[in-house]
Structure 1
């Protein structure tokens, strides 16, 4: 590590997030549900000053970049009330089954949302969704060797998922849609661009 020759900051050869924990002098739960909790924490910085922080604590999440034999990506379209739009996304969901591993959750979500199973799985990347106010982390998996779930084993989709549609889109078209801002879901954008980076690195 050395000072940048002309700009503020340090020049480093490698980077990684680091574990750290400022003391929490008090914490108050203001909301709780089966999906998430919301706390108001008072934290103490290294100078001893206190700051109030709202922390949203959802379950972790997973997403699936499912790619068929013709290099098409599966996107699901569903209504998202907070943004009042029909949003194109990778099949995804929360880690809300006790003891379930991330890849198992991804496989479950792929089957539930798209009636598809996969033979081959690989982790593409893990992300912190919005660390300024949320503890949520998610992992995106690449899934290939796809097969349909038998009709008599398919999940009945409810609420917003009952109106969900599935689209198979050429990979390069999805990349363009992400870069043009036509597809904006954060997990979807991250997964697609991670896949693009992996392909270019090969």
Structure 2
């Protein structure tokens, strides 16, 4: 069995300065002591603190992927995405967060949930951790009473795309959203293996 596996480690931080604290993220600079052949060296690393997020790759009985289109201001694009959201409810299991996002953003519930893939979205500068779930056995469902989409989410059309076509669109550069890209490719690989190696929705995060 291959020994290649990510594992947690924390090098010594000898100083830290916060530059920005916003509604969702915090930006700081850490002074990190780096090991080296000539002795330790201290360097500065900028870090974005993020609460984490979840994504949902919803796959129906015809092997079609659910995608939603959403405006993203930072890159200035309308992107086709998988439903996703922040881990912003204290103590809520991640798959329950994903369940809520699938309902609120796309209007669907799923009877079968599995952990599909875990990622750090941009580990060179952010600690954001994202877990993407595979949701199957889908049914349309109304949103919770009183819930109303607003801002970028007010107009998010839903499209069902055959999984093979979605893979082709990823490789052609037509789909850019990282949750959609990773989820689509992981779902294709999982299907090729008969979905045998999928983890439980509450599998521990390494």
Q: TM over 0.5, yes or no?
A: yes
CA shift digits 1:10-48 (9 cap, x unpaired): xx9430113221110111111112311111111111232
CA shift digits 1:41-100 (9 cap, x unpaired): 111112321111110011111100111222211101010001101001100011011111
CA distance in 1 between partners of 2:142 and 2:16 (Å): 48
CA shift digits 1:113-141 (9 cap, x unpaired): 01111111000010111111000110110
Tell me if the contact between 1:66 and 1:142 (Cα under 8 Å) persists in the aligned partners.
yes
Give the counterpart of 1:59 among 30, 35, 51: 51
CA distance in 2 between partners of 1:159 and 1:168 (Å): 23
Structure 1 residue 85 and structure 2 residue 74: aligned? no
Secondary structure at the counterpart of residue 169 of structure 2: helix
Structure 1 residue 73 and structure 2 residue 59: aligned? no
Q: CA deviation at 1:196?
A: 1.1
1:9 maps to: none
- Any unmatched runs of 5+ in structure 2? 195-206
Alignment of structure 1 residues 103-118 onto 2, 5 Å:
103-118=95-110
Structure 1 residue 28 and structure 2 residue 20: aligned? no
Q: CA deviation at 1:175?
A: 0.8
CA distance in 2 between partners of 1:83 and 1:43 (Å): 31
Give the counterpart of 2:26 among 37, 41, 63: 37
Give the counterpart of 2:5 among 3, 16, 29: 16
When the two structures are aligned, how many residues end up with a matched partner? 191
CA distance in 1 between partners of 2:20 and 2:171 (Å): 36
State the TM-score, normalized to the length of structure 2: 0.88
Q: CA deviation at 1:154?
A: 7.2
For the pair shown, which has the larger CA radius of gyration, 1 or 2? 1
Tell me if the contact between 2:103 and 2:143 (Cα under 8 Å) persists in the aligned partners.
no
- What do you get for the CA RMSD once the two structures are aligned? 1.6
1:166 maps to: 158
Tell me if the contact between 1:112 and 1:154 (Cα under 8 Å) persists in the aligned partners.
no
Tell me if the contact between 1:73 and 1:174 (Cα under 8 Å) persists in the aligned partners.
yes
